[in-house]
């Protein structure tokens, strides 16, 4: 048996009440981590998940649409657990209705980038500051990173998405941020990586996936001819925070059934 253990590590997962986030919360908790996750409006789902997992898991109600919101969430995590060893920036919005750039409301553009990018800046800034204060996280394993950051991007951030330029721009920025921060932070022992999913069975994609016409169109672009389950995204996220990924930094891990190669 090969263990993927994060025993006693403190992990902050954003958007943890549903979908990919909830799957990641469960998986990191199973790996022995102390997990904090935020939610905005899904209080019932968040509280149910925290009760299900019991000790070493807390749900924090926190809006994420400004840098200050991100810094506040990190501070609340540190207040609860005393440190932070891994940040998983998973939250985000995807406005489901097509919005051609010629008519896209400026409010939509600003809202999407505020949630998907501005808050990530605040989260990352505060988490990195704390990781640097902590120094080497595991003195007993000096060859292992002092901290991990994993951004959740999208295939849209790699190849664009017509009529969803706001979403694609925000997710593309996370890919660029991954590469920039890896070069900046790897010398200080912090590994920064990115997971780029394709279509996943989540509430955010439900409208498109349940419509027969759009579902058929989506599946035609995926060589595996199905969409991912949330756990299939959470697993790679977990791997990137384990000792087995201790020499990986600046990578964009595609988890999309091969779709990014044929779209």
Torsion (CA) 113, 50, 240, 226 in degrees, nearest 10: -70
* Stretch 83-100: mean pLDDT: 95
pLDDT at 1 over 90: no
Per-residue pLDDT, 263: 58
Is 167 known to be catalytic? yes
Helix (DSSP H) and strand (DSSP E) numbers for the chain: 10, 7
Assess contact for 73 and 67: CB atoms under 8 A.
Answer: no
- pLDDT band, very low/low/confident/very high, at 42 (cuts 50, 70, 90): confident
- pLDDT band, very low/low/confident/very high, at 137 (cuts 50, 70, 90): very low
* Stretch 121-126: mean pLDDT: 98
pLDDT at 206 over 60: yes
Per-residue pLDDT, 138: 53
C-alpha–C-alpha distance, residues 56 and 31, integer Å: 11
Instruction: Produce one character per residue of 109-124: b if its CB has 16 or more CB atoms within 10 Å, e if not.
Output: beebbbbbbbbbbbbb
Query: Which CATH superfamily includes the segment(s) 10-261?
Result: NAD(P)-binding Rossmann-like Domain (3.40.50.720)
pLDDT at 58 over 70: yes
Task: Give 2-31 pLDDT, tens digit per residue.
Answer: 778 999 899 999 999 999 999 999 999 999
Task: Give 154-180 pLDDT, tens digit per residue.
Answer: 999 999 999 999 999 999 999 999 999
Assess contact for 35 and 56: CB atoms under 8 A.
Answer: yes
Nearest to 88 by CA among 15, 156, 33, 26: 15
Specify the pairing of strand 252-255 against strand 147-152. unpaired
Task: Give 101-115 pLDDT, tens digit per residue.
Answer: 999 999 999 999 999
Selected catalytic residue, list 39, 81, 121, 167: 167
Higher-scoring residue by pLDDT: 220, 174: 174
Nearest to 260 by CA among 158, 186, 170, 144: 158
- pLDDT band, very low/low/confident/very high, at 242 (cuts 50, 70, 90): very high
pLDDT at 46 over 80: yes
């Amino acid at each position: 048996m090969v263990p993927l253990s994060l025993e006693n590590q403190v992990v902050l997962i954003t958007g943890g009440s549903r979908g990919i986030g909830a799957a990641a919360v469960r998986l990191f908790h199973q790996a022995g981590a102390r997990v904090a996750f935020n939610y905005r409006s899904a209080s019932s789902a968040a509280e149910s998940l925290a009760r299900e997992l019991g000790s070493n898991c807390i749900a924090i109600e926190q809006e994420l649409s400004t840098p200050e919101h991100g810094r506040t969430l990190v501070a609340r995590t540190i207040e609860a657990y005393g440190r932070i060893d891994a940040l998983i920036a998973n939250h985000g919005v995807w406005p489901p209705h097509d919005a051609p750039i010629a008519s896209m409301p400026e409010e939509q553009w600003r809202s999407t980038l505020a949630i998907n990018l501005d808050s990530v800046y605040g989260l990352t800034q505060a988490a990195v500051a704390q990781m640097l204060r902590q120094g080497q996280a595991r003195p007993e394993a000096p060859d292992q990173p002092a901290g991990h950051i994993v951004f959740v991007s999208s295939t849209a951030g790699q190849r664009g998405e017509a009529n969803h330029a706001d979403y694609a721009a925000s997710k593309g920025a996370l890919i660029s941020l991954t590469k920039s921060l890896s070069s900046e932070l790897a010398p200080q022992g912090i590994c920064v990586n990115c997971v780029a999913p394709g279509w996943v069975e989540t509430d955010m994609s439900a409208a498109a996936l349940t419509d027969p016409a759009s579902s058929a169109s989506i599946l035609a672009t995926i060589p595996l001819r199905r969409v991912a389950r949330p756990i299939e995204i959470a697993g790679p996220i977990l791997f990137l925070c384990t000792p087995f990924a201790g020499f990986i930094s600046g990578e964009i891990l595609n988890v999309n059934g091969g779709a990014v190669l044929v779209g």
